[in-house]
Structure 1
Amino acid sequence: MPSSDPHNQELVYLKRNLQIAIIDDEEFPEFNSLRNAGYSPVHFKDIDSFDQLLPYPIIVCDIQGVGKNFGGTGQGAYIVSQVNELFPDKYVIVVSSKSASLKVTSMISKADKKLLRGNSDEINQALLDAVKTMGSSIERWKRVRKHLIEQKNIDLLDVWVIEQEFISSVNSRDKSKIERFIKNHADDMVKGLLINFISGLIFT
């Protein structure tokens, strides 16, 4: 019998609607079990554009054998570092079967979780945490706000103004308000980042 608990119903909704991009040149062992558990994973053997990741608030990425289309030696670590830069609200889980070099460790330092391949229990728990985090517009904004202040050095007053527009949009469940504000007022350096953030939100 389906659960009538509102919390469980919300979790079922979030698992179904928050898509997971899995970037792995090999078959991902937990893929079918994730589908069976109600998640919405999509498997990429690799990507050739970061725009491919726009619809996916949760990213699971191997650090070897992917990212070849971008050159360099970073592979999956480069993908992780760029996702953190372009989409700071996204929840990033690194999965690998090998220990990382110092260079790679630096590139994946901002990932939310770093797990060993094949540890199904830890992967399942990480994805549950990811869904709960990404299901909250407020938590996603906090991640963006931290990035704007710490990585982009945006003035605190400017961040506060953006936050007030965000709160107004959340309260009215109308993304168009903050979308218009960003297009007309946001600093060009972060406009694309903010547009990406807003486009991925689910206002319910």
Structure 2
Amino acid sequence: MFGFFKRNVKIQKKFDISDLRVGSIETIDRNKFKILCIDDQGFQYEHLLKNHDFNLKVVSDIEDINAVEAYDLIVCDIIGVGKAFGSKFEGGHIISEIKKRYPFKKVIAFSGSQFNPEFNKYFTLSDKSLNKDTE
């Protein structure tokens, strides 16, 4: 009666952790990983990251979402940026637009302010949220 249901049974090889071929964190060329920080007050960790050979560019604002295209990671302040887009959500709007246009880019919301619940959706859209006093 149920002959049309056939099971495809495949025997698969089992792997263990030693089969993974990954380089150590020490061998990663940090300079190839491009980071953009959008913050109207500058980025307090700029020199530290550059001293550790990260490819970091800090800008006070952007006027076009395409400005983030070349970057792998975007760190975005919330207040004081995104003014060209005319949204009261400022950096939150930038995060939203980045995720619409470049859904696979990693975005960190980075702010020292407290926000009303209207901003929650923008923090949810980001891949990570950090306070500016984070070490």
Q: Does 1:109 align with 2:124?
A: yes
Greater per-residue helix proportion: 1
1:85 and 1:10 mapped to 2: Cα distance?
Answer: 33
Q: Does 1:39 align with 2:54?
A: yes
Q: Does 1:22 align with 2:37?
A: yes
Which ranges in structure 2 are unaligned for 5 or more consecutive residues?
A: 1-22
Check conservation: 2:83, 2:90, Cα contact below 8 A: yes
Amino acid aligned to 1:45: S
Q: Does 1:8 align with 2:36?
A: no
Greater per-residue strand proportion: 2
Q: Which residue of 1 aligns with 2:102?
A: 87
Q: Which has the larger radius of gyration?
A: 2
Aligned length in residues: 114
Q: Which residue of 2 aligns with 1:77?
A: 92
- Superposed CA deviations along residues 19-38 of structure 1, whole A, max 9, x for unmatched, are 10100000211000000112
1:109 and 1:82 mapped to 2: Cα distance?
Answer: 14
- Superposed CA deviations along residues 113-150 of structure 1, whole A, max 9, x for unmatched, are 11110212xxxxxxxxxxxxxxxxxxxxxxxxxxxxxx
Q: 4+ runs of 1 displaced by more than 4 Å?
A: none
User: Secondary structure of 1:108's match?
Assistant: helix
Q: Which residue of 1 aligns with 2:9?
A: none
Check conservation: 1:25, 1:44, Cα contact below 8 A: yes
1:118 and 1:107 mapped to 2: Cα distance?
Answer: 20
Shift of 1:9: 4.6
Amino acid aligned to 1:7: S
2:51 and 2:67 mapped to 1: Cα distance?
Answer: 24
Check conservation: 2:42, 2:59, Cα contact below 8 A: no
Amino acid aligned to 2:75: V
1:10 and 1:101 mapped to 2: Cα distance?
Answer: 43
Aligned-residue RMSD, C-alpha: 1.5
Shift of 1:86: 0.8
2:125 and 2:27 mapped to 1: Cα distance?
Answer: 28
TM-score with structure 2 setting the length: 0.79
2:72 and 2:116 mapped to 1: Cα distance?
Answer: 27
